[in-house]
Amino acid sequence: MYICLCEPVTDRDIKAAVSTGCRNVRDVAGQLGCCRDCGKCVRAAKEVIDAARADLRALVAHAPVASGCAA
């Protein structure tokens, strides 16, 4: 789904940016160019960013952890 119409930025683009380290709207705007012109997409972009960050936290929380030493 398109989040920004001024720049063709989708929710997938924003999720990918979050997965590469973008943490907030400013970071995403710097990488993708969205949220700079009319500003109508800022709220939707923030919602996608927050959801993507929550998904990443859940993945990390459930990631397997090696225990003990392998001989």
pLDDT digits 0-9 by tens, 43-52: 999 999 999 9
The CATH fold of domain 2-61: Arc Repressor Mutant, subunit A (1.10.10)
In this prediction, residue 68 carries a pLDDT of 64
In this prediction, residue 70 carries a pLDDT of 58
Please write the tens of the pLDDT for every residue from 22-35: 999 999 999 999 99
Q: How far apart are CA 43 and CA 21, in angstroms?
A: 20
Q: How far apart are CA 35 and CA 24, in angstroms?
A: 11
Q: Does the pLDDT at position 65 exceed 70?
A: no
